[in-house]
Amino acid sequence: MYVSAFKIRNSIGKGHNPEAFRLSDGRIVVYVIDGYYIADRVDDKVWTYGKFSFDPRDRKIIEGLSNLTFARRQDGSYLMVCRGGGVWISKDGLSPYKQLTDKRVYPDVEGRFEDPVVWRDDLQYHLIVNDWLGRIAFYQRSKDGVHWVTEQGEAYMPGVSFHKDGTVERWFKYERPKVFQDEKGRAVQMNFAVIDTIKWNDLPNDKHSSKNISVPLNKGMLLSVLNEKEITPSTRTIEVKIAAEEGFHPQTDVDVKSLRFGSFTEVNFGRGCKPVKTKVSGEDLIVVFNAEGSGITSGEFAPKMIGKHRNGNMLYGYARLPYVNYRPALLSARRPVFDKEKGELKVEIQNFGLSASEPAEVEVICGGHSLGRMTLKTLQPYEVEYLAFSPDAALADDKSSYEVVFFYEGKEVERNRFGKD
């Protein structure tokens, strides 16, 4: 039996592929393809229509600017992912969105990608993108919204909507995923547009047509690693605190022996660290793991735990690492511009991250030839700096392909590519 709990209260205007988000000042934005509606409150009778502006920053826009999805960053700015998988940032959610990436951030596999949905919880960013032709979706995570890891397996596929009594809803296709988040930013519900046949068999006045369904999600546990020193191959034990919260009491609810902890590349396959003992901390539970087999490397930002509740249900979560910067700097260059009169190559660099950058070395490469390196000073969030190179005029022009490479302590950390004009 299906009981509707929704009633139409207002109609704010026409639009396709809506996604709603709240600005720092409390106003509500409802994005639709080619524009947005904005109001002071959800129950306002009048909504104002507007259009976003976009600055590709000398990068190609991948597959156009449609099916946009948004996530609020820690400082109130907004990260946006477009249908093609490009990442953009706006300082307040309405000001111009500026593109940071020069290629899609989706998994490097064949697929007809669309309908991305991005969100951020208290720990990390999450991204799900749908392959509409393959009827499969992929799940990715990131600490900064620009550099992503892809978890193995499927985020969802036909048959994912099932009931406790074993009933499975046999929808042909799931599209347009959107998430509802709790106060910690965890996804607790996912909404889908579904249909029971292939799109071109959906005809006027038939019984098909798309529907909207809501699927409750396992929101995951709140985890934090207590080791103050970075986890390395020589680390002997790892202590992880599982926080108690309303309706969940880890000291009595967790089947400790079932727990596995470590990199998702290990834990997703039943491997990882095994627990050796537990301790209590108020209402929280601290689990001590033998660090052997964790798979945790220097690039790890959110190791994973999987296990069972004593009632048999699945438990999982991602842990905060005390030595990881979750508000990193994000240096990004524009295409170098050559001034023939001055014999000078000028490069604009901006920090789109949420913390000050470390002094870095910047190398410019033109047509495969290095034009030299320069030192970049510390940049505060959103600060812009210009570097002027003096290359051999025969090697530099405004039509060549360029690469701008960033180095920290001699190690390459970022590379921006610009094709021939």
Domain count, the chain: 3
Give the residue-averaged pLDDT of 35-56.
96
Give the residue-averaged pLDDT of 391-414.
86
Note the residue count of the chain. 421
Given a cut of 50, whether residue 188 has pLDDT beyond it is yes
* Same domain for 278 and 339: no
Query: What are the tens digits of pLDDT across the range 116-159?
Result: 999 999 999 999 999 888 888 999 999 999 999 999 999 998 88
Residue 202 banded pLDDT, cuts 50, 70, 90 = confident
Given a cut of 50, whether residue 1 has pLDDT beyond it is no
Structure tokens at 72: 């609020």
Q: Which domain does 341 fall in, by range?
A: 331-418
Given a cut of 70, whether residue 286 has pLDDT beyond it is yes
* Same domain for 111 and 188: yes
- Rounded Cα gap, residues 151 and 132, in angstroms: 19
* Same domain for 100 and 50: yes
- Rounded Cα gap, residues 278 and 300, in angstroms: 24
Q: Is residue 406 part of a domain?
A: yes
**Residue 335: per-residue pLDDT:** 96
Query: What are the tens digits of pLDDT across the range 246-281?
Result: 999 999 999 999 999 999 999 999 999 999 999 999
CATH number at residue 92: 2.115.10.20
Give the residue-averaged pLDDT of 39-57.
96
The closest alpha carbon to 106, from 81, 85, 88, 125, belongs to: 85
* Same domain for 209 and 225: no
Given a cut of 70, whether residue 173 has pLDDT beyond it is yes
User: Over the chain, what is the mean pLDDT?
Assistant: 93
**Residue 63: per-residue pLDDT:** 84
The answer to whether residues 13 and 19 touch, using CB atoms and an 8 Å cutoff, is: no
Percent over 90 (pLDDT), the chain: 79
Strand order in the sheet with 136-142: 113-120, 125-131, 136-142, 149-150
Given a cut of 90, whether residue 223 has pLDDT beyond it is yes
* Same domain for 273 and 193: no
Given a cut of 50, whether residue 391 has pLDDT beyond it is yes
* Same domain for 204 and 57: yes
User: Who contacts 144 (Cβ-Cβ below 8 Å, separation ≥6)?
Assistant: 125, 328, 330, 353
**Residue 226: per-residue pLDDT:** 98
Final residue of a structural domain among 196, 216, 236: 216
Q: Is residue 364 part of a domain?
A: yes
